[in-house]
């Protein structure tokens, strides 16, 4: 039976393609799908088969254009500064604006289920106020503290012993404290929409019917315990619309291919790209370096064995690759692992330190600092190519990802949520008729 889904996204770089992949899958199954999105994303929304709807009062951004980026976290000097920008400019600060736009769309055209990228707490507020089923999508490793794992963010190894558990408790308190500055704006949005205030911002992430994690369960800590409403539904492996339709061009020769891809959004990464290109120039490899929409490939100097291009279909390129050098954005990292390709991770910020740590703990890659020299980068790539354990562990993860994605668990969960909601409405109508 056809259902209507209203999605909500923001210009969050690598978080966009996985959400639109779910929207596309629902559309292909005959459901109605609309997507509230920044205008810069409307082309990608249309390519997914869904109908774009523009935000009117909520922030409009474009992470491929540094002048139009909403959060400009590349300007922050510390991880706390990065976090504060996200909190104040997306998660909490404009919560009332996101709620207002979402409720206006729901009143104009009701939906059976509201689906939001999980950072949009204003959208979740609107769904709660409207009284409809709400699902949030996490497009990376689950980013909030849970029992059985170190607090996420800094890329810590699991604790051992009493001292390690004390470390986790202390760090969790420290890491949750900065959320408090966003609570007044979030609660103002809730009160404006007839909802009671909350005691913490983190509580707001729980106010959903389903939280779907679009990440391999095998990549997370095995002993980690999650909330009952959370489901791991596997990663989305589609290429983004701006890359998926391209023909693959590979460098000439038969030397091992190294795929390079840093952030699809602007993170001031041109220098890192050039150092990686220089590193590959010192090795007997072919390099395919994709800059993404945020960097002009003509501005990246590279040796003759490295082909620099704005974009390429990574899912196809990875069939030929022996290694990937990446910022450890979740999308590129997981696509590489799904193809059995080991990684050299160069995290630039955001969730990337955490993803890189999990890749290392799984034995499928190496992490180097974002300011690493070309010589250090070359050593890391050479080690990945020479030591068979990295490819072996990447292939192990590939098998687990293949099993997890054999059926579309995200679509199944959302369809089930819509059916249960419809069943509740029918039950209420039957009760009204009988009375």
Q: Quote the pLDDT of residue 244.
A: 63
Going by C-beta distance under 8 Å and a sequence separation of 6 or more, which residues neighbour residue 47? Answer: 20, 241
Distance CA 57, CA 99 (A): 10
131-168 burial, b if ≥16 CB within 10 A, otherwise e?
ebbbbbbbbbbbbbbbeebbbbbebbeebeeeeeeeeb
Q: Quote the pLDDT of residue 268.
A: 80
Q: Quote the pLDDT of residue 310.
A: 87
Distance CA 44, CA 120 (A): 19
Q: What digits encode the pLDDT tens for the residues 182-202? A: 999 999 999 999 999 999 999
* Ranges of residues in the chain whose predicted pLDDT is under 50: 425-435
HSE-CB of 207 using CA atoms within 13 angstroms: 25
Instruction: Enter the pTM of the model.
Output: 0.90
Contacts of 355-361 with C-beta under 8 Å, sequence gap 24+, read 355/140, 355/141, 355/328, 355/329, 355/330, 356/155, 356/328, 357/155, 357/156, 357/157, 358/141, 358/219, 358/220, 358/221, 359/219, 359/328, 359/333, 361/157, 361/158, 361/221
Task: Name the nearest CA neighbour of 359 among 394, 388, 401, 386.
Answer: 394
Distance CA 294, CA 262 (A): 10
Q: Quote the pLDDT of residue 8.
A: 98
Q: Quote the pLDDT of residue 29.
A: 96
């Amino acid at each position: 039976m056809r259902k209507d889904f209203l999605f909500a996204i923001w210009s969050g770089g690598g978080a966009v393609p996985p959400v639109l992949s779910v929207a596309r899958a629902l559309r292909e199954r005959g459901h109605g799908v609309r997507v509230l999105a920044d205008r810069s994303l409307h082309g990608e929304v249309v390519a997914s088969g869904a109908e774009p709807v523009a935000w009117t009062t909520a922030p409009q951004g474009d992470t491929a254009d540094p002048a139009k980026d909403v959060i400009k976290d590349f300007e922050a000097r510390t991880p706390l500064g990065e976090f504060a920008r996200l909190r104040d400019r997306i998660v909490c600060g404009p919560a009332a604006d996101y709620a207002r736009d979402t409720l206006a769309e729901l009143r104009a055209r009701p939906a059976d289920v509201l689906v939001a990228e999980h950072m949009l707490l204003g959208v979740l507020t609107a769904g709660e106020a409207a009284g409809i089923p709400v699902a949030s999508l996490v497009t990376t490793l689950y980013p909030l503290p849970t029992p059985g794992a170190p607090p996420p963010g800094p890329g810590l190894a699991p604790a051992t012993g009493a001292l390690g558990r004390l470390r986790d408790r202390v760090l969790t308190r420290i890491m949750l404290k900065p959320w408090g500055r966003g609570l007044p704006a979030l609660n103002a949005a809730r009160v404006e929409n007839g909802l009671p205030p909350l005691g913490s911002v983190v509580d707001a992430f729980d106010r959903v019917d389903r939280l779907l994690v679009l990440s391999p369960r095998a990549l997370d800590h095995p002993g980690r315990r999650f909330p009952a409403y959370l489901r791991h539904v596997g990663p989305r492996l589609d290429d983004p619309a701006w890359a998926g339709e391209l023909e693959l061009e590979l460098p000439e020769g038969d030397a091992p291919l190294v795929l390079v891809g840093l952030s699809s959004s602007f993170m001031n990464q041109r220098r890192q790209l050039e150092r990686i290109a220089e590193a590959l120039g010192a090795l007997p490899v072919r390099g395919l370096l994709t800059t993404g929409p945020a960097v002009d490939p003509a501005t990246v100097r590279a040796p003759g064995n490295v082909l620099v291009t704005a974009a390429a279909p990574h899912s196809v390129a990875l069939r030929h690759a022996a290694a990937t050098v990446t910022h450890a954005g979740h999308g590129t990292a997981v696509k590489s692992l799904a193809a059995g390709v080991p990684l050299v991770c160069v995290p630039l910020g955001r969730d990337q330190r955490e993803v890189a740590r999990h890749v290392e703990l799984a034995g499928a890659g190496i992490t180097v600092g974002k300011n690493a020299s070309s010589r250090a980068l070359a050593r890391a790539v050479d080690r990945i190519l020479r030591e068979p354990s990295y490819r072996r562990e990447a292939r192990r993860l590939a098998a687990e990802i293949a099993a997890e994605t054999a059926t579309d668990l995200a679509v199944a969960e959302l369809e089930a949520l819509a059916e249960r909601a419809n069943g509740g409405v029918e039950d209420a109508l039957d009760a009204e008729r009988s009375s």
